[in-house]
Amino acid sequence: MGSFLAWIAHSGIVQGIIIGAALAFLTAILILNTVIRSMTTTVNGWSAIRDCGMPGNGILTRAACAKALPMVNVFEEAAYWTAARDSSRRPLTGRNAYVLHFPAGGLPPNHAFWSLTATDPVGYAPSSPTRPTSVSGRSSLAVNRDGSLDLYLQAAAPRGRERNWLPTPAGRFKLMLRAYLPGAAILDGTYRVPEVVRSP
């Protein structure tokens, strides 16, 4: 057994297979990333991929979508946006505080509900038994007098504004906004998610 393992360790054929497999894997990742970038639309720092989940997608598109958004619904059932940078194009980090301001009537139009989640860069939400992991249209949010809505995105609770607080990870993070059964303005592309603005 030891001689066989030694042969494998020094075999040019085996090493060639391993190197070839590694290069093939890296090439596949580069191709899938290129496909995803070509399908992604970014407005106000929020990126969306509208074509994932469509029945007519080819195998390359389906593979790229599976890498970017596993188990994604078709856009008509659920619209997804992600943001990893603020309005100044700086990475989002828990060291700063941010505000996401929706003007009156500017929440994502939907026929079910919307939700906003803060996750780490990989996509995992911070686990806490006492802190909310998301806010949504079903949350008890405080609306401004003019009908607008401010969401406060930061690691520590904002004093007096806890109802509209979305806790963020301490380090780098990204946001995911979802609208289930999205409305017409989302489906036709006219709806725009507001920018994430860093608080002074």
Residue 152, pLDDT > 60, answer yes
Q: Parallel, antiparallel, or unpaired: how do β-strands 165-167 and 149-154 relate?
A: parallel
Which tens digits make up the pLDDT trace of 1-41?
556 555 555 666 655 666 665 655 565 456 545 645 655 77
Looking at the structure, tell me whether residues 98 and 151 fall in a common domain.
yes
pLDDT of residue 131: 74
pLDDT of residue 124: 77
pTM of the model: 0.77
Q: In terms of C-beta density within 10 A (0-12 exposed, 13-18 middle, 19 or more buried), how is residue 179 classed?
A: buried
Looking at the structure, tell me whether residues 90 and 151 fall in a common domain.
yes
Looking at the structure, tell me whether residues 69 and 98 fall in a common domain.
no
Count of the separate structural domains present in the chain? 2
Looking at the structure, tell me whether residues 109 and 181 fall in a common domain.
yes
Confidence of residue 165 (pLDDT cuts 50, 70, 90): very high
Residue 149: give the domain boundaries.
Answer: 76-200
Looking at the structure, tell me whether residues 82 and 122 fall in a common domain.
yes
| Final residue in a domain of this structure, among 10, 44, 73 | 73
pLDDT of residue 144: 96
Q: List the CATH number of the domain containing 197.
A: 2.60.120.600
Looking at the structure, tell me whether residues 67 and 153 fall in a common domain.
no
pLDDT of residue 24: 57
| Final residue in a domain of this structure, among 57, 73, 89 | 73
Query: Are the CB atoms for 90 and 191 separated by under 8 Å?
Result: no
Looking at the structure, tell me whether residues 184 and 86 fall in a common domain.
yes
Query: Are the CB atoms for 69 and 49 separated by under 8 Å?
Result: yes
Q: Parallel, antiparallel, or unpaired: how do β-strands 149-154 and 134-136 relate?
A: unpaired
Looking at the structure, tell me whether residues 93 and 110 fall in a common domain.
yes
Which tens digits make up the pLDDT trace of 64-100?
566 555 556 777 889 999 999 999 999 999 999 999 9
Which candidate, 131, 167, 159, 163, places its Cα nearest to that of 150?
A: 163
Which tens digits make up the pLDDT trace of 36-58?
565 577 899 999 877 665 566 55
Largest Cα–Cα distance of the chain, in whole Å?
79
Which tens digits make up the pLDDT trace of 99-132?
999 999 999 999 999 999 999 988 877 766 667 7
- Strand arrangement, sheet containing 40-43: 40-43, 46-49, 78-83, 174-180, 114-119, 134-136
φ and ψ at residue 116, rounded to 5 degrees = -130, 130
Looking at the structure, tell me whether residues 172 and 185 fall in a common domain.
yes
Looking at the structure, tell me whether residues 85 and 176 fall in a common domain.
yes
Looking at the structure, tell me whether residues 150 and 117 fall in a common domain.
yes
Q: How many CB atoms lie within 10 A of CB 111?
A: 10
Distance separating alpha carbons of residues 148 and 41, to the nearest angstrom: 26
Distance separating alpha carbons of residues 192 and 176, to the nearest angstrom: 14
Query: Are the CB atoms for 65 and 115 separated by under 8 Å?
Result: no
Residues 6+ apart with CB under 8 A from 10: none
**Token pair recorded at residue 47:** 């990126």
The HSE-up count of residue 77 (CA atoms within 13 Å, CB side) is 8
pLDDT of residue 125: 76
Looking at the structure, tell me whether residues 66 and 139 fall in a common domain.
no
